[in-house]
């Protein structure tokens, strides 16, 4: 009796072990993970240097919060690349499903993104892009705006505006407030604008310096522009709305009228900037849409589930000026 009972119990143990082995095989476990649809996303945001960046962060956090299949791990790099590299390595150690990063500058990512690739963790670039040897192999998708096209839009808008004002044959001296040096936003917008300047022989950039995308530095750099070039400046092109706000303050403090004495073109499209268009202090804003959170979460989910995704996902953008500002207010940021 005991012998038969022992055989029966032994058989049950062997059978149970066999079934457990079948149920927990590597391939089937991964399939089960995919089928539950849950995704852990590690997001390294470059900082909070502007209203645009704050809106971008909120868009990502809200998209994750409103999706019960997403777990978001968030890190603020405070505009330091070393902090982003550290955050990415931390995400790798935690074994997240997808890493999303808004790179503070374009270069210097090969090593850490190779580490992510070796760990089989796909990477999504957000807003800004990267350069370097074989970097296309180190990320799965990029979501953001065409920064060079934004610069081209600025030049094209200025051409049209000057023609409307009967000033298209006049000499135009441009002061150019750039964003963080080496960021894809700065590189792209500068390239697009400079192409426009080359195409218009009566345009000249007489001042060009980074204001690091902040209001305080925008004011400081504009003060320096005004001291060195004074009445020579006809146009200000400022690569984000926060710097533009600082620049407007500097212009007013020397007794000039922004939007009249100096034509002002800005980038982003915040509520504050559109209000300045209404007030006549900014002439045009080239939109850069920060609301990419849903696109990021949708792309991350598709990647986790083995679906194909686009290498580049462009957000929709426009141009705001006195002709359409009313219909585009209020803005969501």
pLDDT tens digits along 274-287: 999 999 999 999 99
pLDDT at residue 225 above 70?
yes
pLDDT at residue 295 above 90?
yes
pLDDT at residue 59 above 90?
yes
Contact 222, 177 (CB under 8 A): yes
pLDDT category of residue 206 using cuts at 50, 70 and 90: very high
Which H/E stretch holds residue 299? helix 293-304
Of 163, 176, 142, nearest in space to 265 by CA: 176
What mean pLDDT is reported for the chain?
90
Residue of higher predicted confidence among 130 and 1:
130
Beta strands in the chain (DSSP E): 39-45, 70-76, 98-101, 123-126, 141-144, 172-178, 203-210, 235-238, 263-268, 284-287, 312-314, 319-321
Residue 3's CB is within 10 A of a number of other CB atoms, namely: 7
Question: Which pLDDT does position 332 carry in this prediction?
Answer: 80
pLDDT at residue 176 above 80?
yes
Which domains are present in the chain? Answer: 39-144+290-316 (3.40.50.2300), 147-288 (3.40.50.2300)
Question: Which pLDDT does position 36 carry in this prediction?
Answer: 67
pLDDT at residue 217 above 80?
yes
Residue 19's CB is within 10 A of a number of other CB atoms, namely: 10
> Cα–Cα distance between 331 and 285 in angstroms, integer?
13
Tokens of 13: 């143990």
pLDDT category of residue 24 using cuts at 50, 70 and 90: very low
- CA 12 to each of CA 23, 24, 196: distance values in angstroms, whole numbers, following the listed order: 16, 18, 79
Contact 149, 181 (CB under 8 A): no
Question: Which pLDDT does position 315 carry in this prediction?
Answer: 87
pLDDT category of residue 23 using cuts at 50, 70 and 90: very low
pLDDT at residue 13 above 50?
no
Question: Which pLDDT does position 333 carry in this prediction?
Answer: 86
pLDDT category of residue 3 using cuts at 50, 70 and 90: very low
Tokens of 262: 């100096």
pLDDT at residue 16 above 50?
no
Range with the lowest mean pLDDT among 26-35, 171-180, 227-236, 298-307? 26-35
- Mean pLDDT for 66-75 is 97
pLDDT at residue 157 above 60?
yes
Which residues are within 8 A (CB) of 166 and not within 5 positions of it... i.e. 6 or more apart? none
Tokens of 302: 């598709």
pLDDT category of residue 11 using cuts at 50, 70 and 90: very low
């Amino acid at each position: 009796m005991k012998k038969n009972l022992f055989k029966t119990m032994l058989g049950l143990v062997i059978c149970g072990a066999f079934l457990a082995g079948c149920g927990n095989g590597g391939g089937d476990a991964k399939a089960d993970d995919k089928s539950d649809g849950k995704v852990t996303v590690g997001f390294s945001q470059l900082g909070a240097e502007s209203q645009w960046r704050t809106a971008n962060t909120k868009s990502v956090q809200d998209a994750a919060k409103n999706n019960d299949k997403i777990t978001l791990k968030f890190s603020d790099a405070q505009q330091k690349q070393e902090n982003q590299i550290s955050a990415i390595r931390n995400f790798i150690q935690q074994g997240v499903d997808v890493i999303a990063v808004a790179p503070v500058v374009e270069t210097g990512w090969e090593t850490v993104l190779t580490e992510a690739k070796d760990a089989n963790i796909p990477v999504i670039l957000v807003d800004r892009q990267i350069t370097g040897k074989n970097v296309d192999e180190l990320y799965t998708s990029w979501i953001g705006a065409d920064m060079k096209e934004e610069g081209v839009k600025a030049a094209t808008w200025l051409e049209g505006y000057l023609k409307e004002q009967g000033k298209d044959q006049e000499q135009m001296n441009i002061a150019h407030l750039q964003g963080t040096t080496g960021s894809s936003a700065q590189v792209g917008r500068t390239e697009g604008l400079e192409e426009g300047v080359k195409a218009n022989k009566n345009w000249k950039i007489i001042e060009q310096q980074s204001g690091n995308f902040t209001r305080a530095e925008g004011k400081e750099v504009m003060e320096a522009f005004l001291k060195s070039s004074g009445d020579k400046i006809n146009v200000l092109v400022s690569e984000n709305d926060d710097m533009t706000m600082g620049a407007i303050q500097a212009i007013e403090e020397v007794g000039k009228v922004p939007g009249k004495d100096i034509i002002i073109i800005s980038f982003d499209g915040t509520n504050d900037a559109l209000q300045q268009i209404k007030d006549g202090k900014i002439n045009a804003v080239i939109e850069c849409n920060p609301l990419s959170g849903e696109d990021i979460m949708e792309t991350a989910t598709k990647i986790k589930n083995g679906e194909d995704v686009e290498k580049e996902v462009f957000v929709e953008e426009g141009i705001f000026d006195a002709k359409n500002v009313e219909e585009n207010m209020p803005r969501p940021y």
